[in-house]
Structure 1
Amino acid sequence: MSHDLQGHTARKRFGQNFLHDENIIRRIVQMFAPVPGQQVVEIGPGLGALTRHLLAFLGEMHVVELDRDLAARLPVTFAGQGTLHIHQADALEFDFATLAKPEAPLRIIGNLPYNISTPLIFHLLTFSNRVGDMCFMLQKEVVDRLAAEPGTPDYGRLGVMVQYRCRVDWLLAVPPGAFNPPPKVQSAVVRLTPHAALPWPCDNEPLLAQVVAAAFNQRRKTLRNALKALATEEDFAAVGIDSGLRGEVLSVEQYVRLTNRLNSHVPS
């Protein structure tokens, strides 16, 4: 397999690691299963390894690319291969709602730069009512945290907040050699599917974020101590949660129940 980056030097500040393993690329596209007419957006297309396959299926798609040089190369690379809408922009600040159509929710895919993956996922969740699903290549430890269950070492703020809004499916492990240059970490592919109706609706989502952040801020602390500025013994008792437990054992549903209880006596 050639390590030529087609004249482009991977930029460290953009966290660029280009996917080049054709078998892995084909498997990701198969799992994503694009269908013509769907509104697909790829984040960070890079040299177009995934884009090539996606565009062949779809005929038309959008890409969001921060690197000016790469964004300028894409129209040349894909000339005559379909309609590629290129948005040269920072995905962390991009308004994805502008690409959504009422009849076609967004399907978002990308080999995400690992240095921005967590803030980018939180940004994308703000558009979750416009999104059908999201399929991402991420650092394996981030995928483990997204998919983690209560009581496991990987379970934390990221898992709770993403699982509140989405179903999380761990899809595929990807070795460093599938990239050029190879990253120093293991990678994995995950699918996030926003719930059509939230299984545990929260009355005050900013408060939920505050409660979860406080509970995991110092993992060794009991809930009684970690949340003492927010919740009383009476609050814990009212929702049947033992305040002597640690935050890592509470389910998403329990966090929502506690938050809804706290919200009921927050001055409006």
Structure 2
Amino acid sequence: MPKVKSSKTSRTHNEVQKQGIQFNKTFGQHILKNPLVIASMVDKAAVRQGDTVLEVGPGTGNMTVKLLERCKQVVACEVDPRMVAELQKRVQTTPFQSKLKILVGDVLSQDLPFFDLCVANLPYQISSPFVFKLLLHRPFFRCAVLMFQREFAQRLVAKPGDKLYCRLSVNTQLLARVDIIMKVGKNNFRPPPKVESSVIRLEPINPPPDINYKEWDGLLRVCFLRKNKTLSALFRLTSISEMLKNNYKVHCSLNNVQIEKDFNIKDKIEEVLTENNYGNKRARSLDIDDFLLLLCSFNKKGIHFS
């Protein structure tokens, strides 16, 4: 993957600094200043003339302008009113003004509008919740090209056995094809962040797997509670077995199933794990098919995770 070298600060950044606007660390504001990186991200997104593009954290609009040159509309979500004002000034009296729609506020607390593509240099502190929000968004979008902290990007693409393999890896790869497409050094930002960055390309799998997503994520939360522990050891934890026992009773009540007199949830759990030879396995080494089989096996025994 090629590393992209830094370039001179953009004219807009100089103007912003002259006006005395300080970038806000609370909002994770590290403005992408290198036009080569911006152009490459827009190219990788394969923006079409009729597209509506969602941009999160547009800042002073360096990426926004490049997107507006190519698409039908940009919907920019920005939490900082000062940056909103800068963005509005930048497109004022230009042909782009009518093509830009700005949503002011926290993107995590808003319903996302329709969009074909998402292209963004995200505030890194919202990376994980935003990815989950994006993966569950309907209707489907075509693809997303997103800038993340490098280690977070590596988690998205990690495979079973990798050190960074986690619940995020499994959830993302269940619902999307994801690749790291570019490394970006910290000097490409103003102010420079403390970490290196990477750009990923994410394509939703359409149609998605036919599963109950809440159940699926509930199973993963249990399995990755301690990813290096055996599944038998994890499911023997009192907090886990009690939760599953309560869920089992609710399931039986809703389906008019009588609970056996000698019912013991730990025996039922062990039965599932033994039947599928998963007792001594660890989450760190299981792939998506393993987790799907495990969920199906638990559900057949009336054991649910939501």
TM-score scaled by length of structure 2: 0.80
For the 8 Å contact 1:40–1:109, the answer to whether it is kept is: yes
CA distances 1:133-155 after superposition (whole Å, capped 9, x unpaired): 21110000000000001111111
SS of the residue corresponding to residue 47 of structure 1 reads coil
For the 8 Å contact 1:211–1:227, the answer to whether it is kept is: no
- Report the CA distance shift for 1:241/1:177 in structure 2 as closer, same or farther (over 3 A): farther
Query: For 2:154, which of 127, 130, 144 is the aligned residue?
Result: 144
After TM superposition, the structure 1 = structure 2 runs for residues 1-268 of structure 1, keeping only pairs within 5 Å, are 1-2=8-9, 4=14, 6-7=16-17, 8-79=21-92, 80-82=94-96, 83-96=99-112, 99-100=113-114, 106-198=116-208, 200-202=209-211, 204-228=212-236, 229=241, 230=244, 232-238=269-275, 240-264=276-300, 265-266=302-303
Structure-2 separation of matches of 1:212 and 1:57: 40
The 10-residue stretch of structure 1 (176-185 or 70-79) with the greater mean CA deviation from structure 2: 70-79
Shift of 1:214: 1.4
The 10-residue stretch of structure 1 (225-234 or 82-91) with the greater mean CA deviation from structure 2: 225-234
Shift of 1:59: 4.2
CA distances 1:1-47 after superposition (whole Å, capped 9, x unpaired): 23736233110100100000111111111111211111211011011
CA distances 1:115-150 after superposition (whole Å, capped 9, x unpaired): 111111112222154322211100000000000011
Whichever residue aligns with residue 160 of structure 1, its letter is V
| 4+ residue segments displaced more than 6 Å | none
Number of corresponding residues: 259
For the 8 Å contact 2:228–2:284, the answer to whether it is kept is: no
Whichever residue aligns with residue 85 of structure 1, its letter is K
For the 8 Å contact 1:92–1:119, the answer to whether it is kept is: yes
Whichever residue aligns with residue 210 of structure 2, its letter is P
For the 8 Å contact 1:56–1:81, the answer to whether it is kept is: no
Whichever residue aligns with residue 120 of structure 2, its letter is G
Structure-2 separation of matches of 1:257 and 1:184: 41
Structure-1 separation of matches of 2:146 and 2:15: 22
Structure-1 separation of matches of 2:101 and 2:193: 29
- Report the CA distance shift for 1:56/1:160 in structure 2 as closer, same or farther (over 3 A): same
For the 8 Å contact 1:223–1:247, the answer to whether it is kept is: yes
TM-score scaled by length of structure 1: 0.90
SS of the residue corresponding to residue 185 of structure 1 reads coil
For the 8 Å contact 1:140–1:187, the answer to whether it is kept is: yes
For the 8 Å contact 1:55–1:81, the answer to whether it is kept is: no
Once the two structures are aligned, what percentage of the paired residues are identical? 31
Larger Rg: 2
Structure-1 separation of matches of 2:141 and 2:303: 31
The 10-residue stretch of structure 1 (120-129 or 48-57) with the greater mean CA deviation from structure 2: 120-129
